[in-house]
With several copies, the nearest count.
Chain A
Amino acid sequence: MSMSVGSTPQDGSTAIDWRAEELLVATIADMLEGVRHVAVGASSPIPGAAALLAQQRAGGRMRVSVLGSERDNFFTDGARELFDCAAQGRIDAFFLGGGQIDGAANINLVGIGAYPRSRVRFPGSFGSAYLYFLVPRVILFRVEHSPRVLVPRVDFVSAPGTSPEHYYRPGGPYALVTGRCIFLFDKERRRFRLASVHPGHTLAEIREQTGFDFDSPEAVPQTAVPTRKTLDEIRHVIATKIARTYPAFAAHLFDGVPGGTG
């Protein structure tokens, strides 16, 4: 996907340029405030950069594990350790995507069409059916925001968004972040509530591009654009770390941005 560059005047300051990716990084970093340990997939550069930014803001007092990475992963008990660690309550936040995501926060990582002969087959459920239950703050992240992805009901529930009250489930969905907006998940109502719309997008567009029904405040706020301070942090501090952890992403993101590869 390609993402736009915005130029937004900030309260009382001169206009600054930011990229859509930077907005997402800043937004997700906000959601990680107070988190002690966040795990991120190796091929999740935006959540990964957000985690690094949140770690930076926490003065380093946050652990970031990059799964599947040879280097940024401090596990020493094999591939199962992530899951055991989550079950021990030692992972506060995690990211999940979805080939399909529905309005009850169910996610489908298996395929489209009737299982098992999926018309479109995705890789599989990975650890979703487990981590979604055990990690308190699961952020669903999918840049593509279309009726193809955000469906009324997923064709296959890799991991359910909600469970009966009496189930053991310390974890679950916290938010759904897309290229157009932010939804927060309302655990009481078991459905999403639109929290903010990214600059350049509209509520009408989001209704049209979302296959599921969701709640919305009367006046929908705009997603806060990254502050100059945040952009400086991303470009001058995080960029170096990002480049080492997600080189391809960093090359794409910081190409031509001054100081970006710091």
Chain B
Amino acid sequence: MVTAARAVARGASGMIQNETQVPVETIDELAARVPDGAQLAVPPDYSGCAMAAVRALIRRGVKALHLVGVPQVGFQGDMLIGAGCVATLETAALTLGEYGPAPRFVSAVKSGHLRLKDSTCPVIHAGLQAAEKGVPFMPLRGVLGSDLLEQRDDWRVIDNPYRMTKEQDPIVLLPAIRPDVALFHAALADRQGNVWIGVRRELMVMAHAARTTLVSIEAFTDDDLLADDRLAAGTIPALYVTAIAEAENGAWPVGLRGCYAADRSHLQRYVEVAATAAGFARYVDEYVGG
């Protein structure tokens, strides 16, 4: 295990000082960076949700968001929709999981006030990867014959130029998804603005793909996250990070992997209270403010 220990204890810190500072802001300043009408990408409840920033967005009354779930979205989506912040919802699902149907989402769908771009998980991942690679589209298997394809005029079907078969081999092409803003929550950042996300690598693709990446974190570390390969392997370099806000318990009431579990009773209560628009308004009064 001597060798093993050496292997994971690289130790030497980076030699070139990239002193470019990523601005550190309050959660409201962070939210102020999301313009009305922005295409905003957010992760699912099992990843890193910047719930404090979502509340700040609602407080500031952001409008007409094009919300993208990467690849699906949970409480963030229901709350933003309930607060009237969302014009378009592009996601593989809006799910509150075990807590049951998402009340404000279901209500908005029925009222027709939400433009739906129903998608499927790998399409959203592939769209972000296309943006990450700077290509206009990405091919993907599957999806053919789904009504999702019928509803989406931005998805194309071509005959696979590399087919080995005599008959046509239709394959779907999907446009790049390049969010104006990626917004998420992580456990740690260092003073240079590098953000540790561990295995929640969809957050890294989001940051690579988006024009602006806003991150709330539990806490700063004074260490250099890129100096130790153990941490560097799960770190988004500061290059991709536009601004950071410190927000302890910033994912509450959703959980944060490795830090804290979801506040199940609060989430259950949300679902009950938000069953009506009036109940949701009371919830906002109590927990969001503004």
Contact = CB atoms under 8 A, between A and B. Distances in A.
Answer yes or no: A and B touching, Cβ < 8 Å: yes
Interface of A: 37, 42-43, 52, 55, 59-64, 66, 68, 70-72, 74-81, 83-90, 109-111, 115-119, 121, 123-134, 156-160, 163, 166-168, 241, 244-245, 248
A134 B146 contact: no
Contacts, number: 216
B145 A157 contact: yes
Given A60-B19, A80-B125, A90-B239, A123 B169 contact: no
Contact of A64 (B16, B116, B146, B236): B16
B146 A68 contact: no
B110 A76 contact: no
Contacts of A248: 98
Please tell me the size bucket of the interface on B: 35 or more
Contact of A130 (B120, B167, B204, B234): B120
B158 interface: no
Contact of A74 (B95, B116, B237): B237
B110 A55 contact: no
B15 A79 contact: no
A125 B120 contact: yes
B17 interface: yes
B233 interface: yes
B216 interface: no
12 contacts: A68-B44, A75-B237, A76-B236, A83-B122, A85-B208, A121-B109, A123-B101, A126-B71, A126-B93, A133-B141, A158-B148, A168-B160
Given A124-B94, A126-B121, A78 B204 contact: yes
B12 interface: yes
Interface of B: 12, 14-20, 44, 46-47, 70-72, 91-95, 97-98, 101-102, 105-106, 109-110, 112, 115-116, 118-123, 125-126, 129, 131-135, 140-148, 151, 160, 165, 167-171, 194, 199-205, 208-209, 226, 232-240, 257
Which of A43, A78, A111, A115 has the most CB atoms of chain B within a 10 A radius of its CB? A78
Given A71-B12, A80-B122, A168-B141, A63 B201 contact: no
